Structure 1
Amino acid sequence: MFSFREVLSAIQSYGKAHQFIMQHKLWKWILIPGVIYCLLFFTGFYFVWGYSGDFVEYLTKLMHITEWVQDLESSWISFLFILVAFSVRIVFVFWYFSYFKYLFLIVASPVFSYLSEKTEAILEHKDFPFSWSQLGQDILRGIKMSCRNIVYQTAAILVMLLVSFIPVIGWLTPMVGFFIESYFYGFSMMDYSCERHRLNMSQSIQFIRQHRGMALGNGIVFYLFMLIPVLGWMLAPSYAVIAATIDLQNKRLI
C-alpha cells in the first residue's frame, strides 16, 4: 500500500542522515566514493560527448544528409541541421546521466554495502562479522538488482515516451518519468539493508513494493540532490544509503 507518510518520513531521514554523519564523523566514507563518482562521471562524459558527435557525423554521411544540406545553400536549413545534431547529442547525454547512476551503484556497491552496515551497527550498537565470500555474494546480488532496475526503468520510460505523443495526457509524462526514476533509485538504496538481512531478490522486491512510499521519498531527494553539480554528485549517493538505512531501522521494518 502506498503511504504519503512514508514519503515524508523518507525525505526527513536525509536530515537525520546529515546529523548522523556529523556526529559519528563518517565524512571519509562520504567523500571517497564522492570523489570517485566525479572522476568516473567526467571521464565517461568526455567519451559519451565525443562518441555521440562521431555517431551523428557517421549517420549524416551514411544518409547523405550533409551533402543535401550543402546543396540547398540555405542558412535556415543549416541552422536546423546543426540544432538537430546537437539535440541528438543532448539525448545521448541525458541517457548517460540517467544510467551512469546505476553503473556507479554497481561499481561502488562494496562501499555502499559497508556504509549501510556501519550505519546499522552504530544504531544497534553491534558489529557485523566481515566475510569476503559474503561480500562477493552481495556485490553479485547488487549487480543483478541494478540490472533488473535498469530494464524495468527503461521499459517504463519507453512507454512514457509513446504516451508523450498523446495530447494533454502527454504533458504529464515528464513528471511521471521523474517519479519512476526516483522510485527505482530509492529502491536501490533500500536494497542494501534488505540484502544484509538476508532477504533474497524476490523477497526484497516484495518488501520494497509494500513500502514504495519510502523508496519514492528517498529517490526524490536523491534525484534532486544529483542536480547540484559536483557537490550533489559527491554527497547524494552516500547520503541516500544512510538515510534509507536510518529510516528502515527507526521503523523496525526489517
Structure 2
Amino acid sequence: MNPFKKFLLGVRLYGKAFSFTKEHNLWKYHLLPAFLNLVIFLSVGVLGYYFVGDTIDWLESLVGLENPENWWQKGLSYLVIFLVSVASVLIYLKLYKYLMLILLAPALSIVAAKVQEILHPDRPNEEFQFPQFVSDLKRGLTISLTNLAIELGITIPLILLGIFVSFLSPFTTIIVILVESYFLGFGMIDLRNEFMKLGVKESRETVKKHRPFAVGVGLTMYLMILIPVLGILFAPIWACISAGLGIYELEEGSVTEV
C-alpha cells in the first residue's frame, strides 16, 4: 500500500471505528476514557487560557506595546498576539496529548485489548495479572517520555523559527502539526502493539513502517477534537480503535469486517 493510501486509511477508519463499536457493543468501554479525557482537556485548557494572556501582556510590556499609539505599534501588537496564540495552541496540543497518552493509557489499553480479542478470536485470553499490568505501564511511560523528548527536539526549533521568522510561520506550523500527529498516532498504535506483546524496539519498527498511517490517525483525532463535546469525549477512544483496526489490515493483510 502506497504512503498516501496508508494516510487515507488512518482517516477513513474513524467511520469504521464507530461501526465496529456499534456492531460489537463496546459502548461500556467508552465511559471511563471519555470522562478522564474531558477532565484532562478542560484542565489543560484553563491553564492555557491564563498562560496566553499573561505571556501576551509580558511581551507587550517588554517591547513597550501596552498602549499602541500608531499603526506600526498596533500592527506589531497584533503580530505578537497572533504568534503567541499559535505557539500556545501547539504547546497546548503537546501537553494535552502526552497527559492523555499517559493518564488514559490504562483505560485505552482495555479498549485496545478488546478490539484485538475480537480480531483474533483464536488467541487465548490472558487473565489479569498485576505485575504484568505494572510492567505494561512502565513500558508505555518509557515510550511516551522518549517520544516526547524526540518530538521536542524537532518541534521546539520549528516553533521558535516560526516566531522569529514570521513569514515562515505557516510552513513551520504545518510541519509541527504533522509531527504532532505522527507521535499521537504512534501512541495509539502502541496500545495495540502492547497487547501483541511487542517490545519497545519492535513497536517502534512497526510504527515507522507505517508512518503515513500514524499521521492519518493522529491528524484525524486532532480534527475530531474540534467537534464540540462529542469530539472531546470520543476522539481518543476512536483513535485507539482505528489504530488497532488499521494495523490489523496493514500487518496481516486482512480487511476488518463490521
Bin of the TM-score, shorter chain as denominator length: 0.7 to 0.9
| Cα distance in 2, alignment partners of residues 101 and 128 from structure 1 | 29
- Corresponding residue for 2:93? 97
For the residue of structure 2 that corresponds to 1:38, the secondary structure is helix
- Corresponding residue for 1:18? 18
Contact 2:32 2:107 in 1 (8 A): no
Q: For structure 1, which segment, 98-107 or 214-223, has the greater mean C-alpha deviation from structure 2 after superposition?
A: 214-223
Q: For structure 1, which segment, 171-180 or 118-127, has the greater mean C-alpha deviation from structure 2 after superposition?
A: 171-180
Matched, 1:118 2:102: no
Cα distance change of structure 1 residues 86 and 153 upon mapping to structure 2, 3 Å threshold = same
- Corresponding residue for 2:105? 109
The residue identity in structure 1 corresponding to 2:177 is: F
Question: Unaligned stretches of 5+ in structure 1?
Answer: none
- Offset at 1:220? 2.3
Q: How does 1:82-231 map to 2 (within 5 A)?
A: 83=78, 86-87=81-82, 90=85, 91-125=87-121, 126=123, 127-161=125-159, 164=162, 171-231=170-230
TM-score, length of structure 2 as denominator length? 0.80
Cα distance change of structure 1 residues 195 and 69 upon mapping to structure 2, 3 Å threshold = closer
Number of aligned pairs? 249
Aligned pair partner of 1:74 in 53, 69, 85: 69
Contact 1:34 1:235 in 2 (8 A): yes
Cα distance change of structure 1 residues 114 and 76 upon mapping to structure 2, 3 Å threshold = same
Deviations 1:127-158 (A, max 9, x none): 23211111111111111211122222222223
CA radius of gyration, larger in: 1
Q: For structure 1, which segment, 141-150 or 38-47, has the greater mean C-alpha deviation from structure 2 after superposition?
A: 38-47
Matched, 1:27 2:22: no
Deviations 1:193-234 (A, max 9, x none): 112222221221122111212212222221221222322111
For the residue of structure 2 that corresponds to 1:146, the secondary structure is helix
Question: Structure 1 vs Structure 2: percent identity of aligned residues?
Answer: 28
- Offset at 1:87? 4.8
- Offset at 1:82? 6.4
Question: Unaligned stretches of 5+ in structure 2?
Answer: 254-258
RMSD value over aligned CA atoms?
3.3
Cα distance change of structure 1 residues 161 and 86 upon mapping to structure 2, 3 Å threshold = closer
| Cα distance in 2, alignment partners of residues 58 and 27 from structure 1 | 46
Cα distance change of structure 1 residues 24 and 44 upon mapping to structure 2, 3 Å threshold = same
Contact 1:190 1:208 in 2 (8 A): yes
| Cα distance in 1, alignment partners of residues 109 and 240 from structure 2 | 9
Contact 2:159 2:176 in 1 (8 A): no
